[in-house]
């Protein structure tokens, strides 16, 4: 009489295999969230990552969600991570690997008074001019970064990491690498920003592999001397209010900061009656069916749309 035992896969092997089967069908932004969800849980699981997936019980799922909440992750982020893992373990149930989904009831419902994802305010045209004037007094690199933020809506770190080879002055286009999503988008350069870049290029010479703002390119975003706090000081010196201070993410945040330039840019596009589809392409927001490459016709269309933005 021969006995047989069913060998269940290790947690790490199953989750990584499941993730690999999903990534090719996901947009890069969604793929990034899926990857972070799986990697974060495996790191938290520690030694259990090498154990059979059946070792993960509902109490483990609840403990993991609680660990995210105690680390002050935004409620939306906790929900996304939990849903990704619930989907992965649901597949394990479907495959007959485990009898029940430990994440089935682990994701908390968002209460009406729960802290939600932090919302950024926008700047007025007068405030933008005050910020530009103060940034110019701080350094030419900060003047450039603020201009790029105003006219592209790019995130702070992305603005600081632009290389000269990313800029085509003749075609008036910028190839922008979005570090958050790992994507690269090509966008037209607003005439006001183009004028500034041409003036810089006339002094910088032919240095394609150097950073556009070399004194800021290697700086950290956070920290006591990071880029975010440097910009916060520019705001204070300019007399521009940072608004209310709130918590709800892993750190306290002001209502307005550099990321508000992104909200201001998108709001300016909407005010100029730029269609939502073009606003998404100009700001680098993508849905599941979007592509990062545009035809020449689309590029011209985007350029014409951008010219309608007045600061």
**Model confidence pLDDT, tens digit, residues 246-297:** 655 445 667 899 999 988 888 888 888 888 777 787 887 654 333 333 334 4
Residue 296 has a pLDDT of 42
> Residue 185, SS3?
strand
Over residues 45-92, the pLDDT tens digits come to 999 999 999 999 999 999 999 888 766 566 777 888 899 999 999 999
**How far is the C-alpha of 279 from the C-alpha of 302, rounded, in Å?**
9
**How far is the C-alpha of 40 from the C-alpha of 44, rounded, in Å?**
6
- Please check whether residue 80 is in contact with residue 73, taking contact to mean a CB–CB distance below 8 angstroms: no
Over residues 8-25, the pLDDT tens digits come to 799 999 999 999 999 888
Q: Which of 73, 15, 82, 12 is nearest to 46 (CA)?
A: 12
Q: Residue 7 pLDDT > 70, yes or no? A: no
Q: Which of 197, 216, 182 is nearest to 292 (CA)?
A: 182
**How far is the C-alpha of 166 from the C-alpha of 295, rounded, in Å?**
18
Give residue for tokens 């979007």: 290
């Amino acid at each position: 009489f021969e006995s047989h035992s069913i060998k269940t896969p290790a947690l790490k092997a199953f989750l990584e295999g499941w993730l690999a089967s999903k990534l090719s069908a996901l947009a890069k932004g969604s793929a990034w969230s899926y990857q972070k969800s799986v990697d974060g849980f495996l790191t938290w699981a520690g030694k259990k990552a090498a154990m059979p997936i059946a070792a993960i019980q509902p109490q483990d799922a609840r403990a993991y969600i609680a660990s995210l909440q105690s680390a002050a992750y935004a409620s939306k982020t906790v929900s996304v991570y939990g849903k990704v893992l619930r989907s992965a373990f649901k597949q394990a149930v479907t495959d007959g690997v485990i009898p029940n989904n430990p994440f089935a009831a682990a994701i908390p419902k968002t209460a009406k008074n729960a802290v939600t994802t932090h919302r950024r305010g926008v700047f007025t045209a007068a405030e933008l001019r005050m910020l530009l004037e103060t940034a110019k007094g701080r350094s030419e690199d900060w003047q450039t970064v603020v201009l790029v933020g105003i006219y592209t809506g790019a995130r702070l770190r992305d603005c600081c990491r632009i290389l000269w080879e990313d800029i085509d002055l003749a075609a008036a286009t910028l190839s922008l690498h979005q570090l958050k999503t790992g994507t690269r988008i090509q966008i037209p350069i607003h005439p006001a920003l183009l004028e500034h870049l041409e003036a810089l290029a006339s002094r910088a010479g032919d240095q394609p592999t150097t950073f556009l703002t070399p004194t800021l390119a290697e700086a950290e975003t956070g920290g006591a001397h990071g880029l975010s706090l440097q910009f916060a000081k520019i705001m204070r010196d300019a007399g521009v209010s940072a608004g209310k201070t709130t918590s709800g993410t892993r750190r306290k945040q002001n209502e307005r900061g550099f990321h508000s330039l992104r909200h201001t840019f998108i709001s300016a596009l909407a005010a100029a009656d730029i269609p939502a589809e073009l606003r998404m392409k100009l700001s680098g927001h993508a849905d599941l069916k979007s592509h990062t490459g545009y035809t020449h016709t689309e590029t011209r269309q985007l350029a014409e749309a951008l010219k309608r933005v007045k600061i």
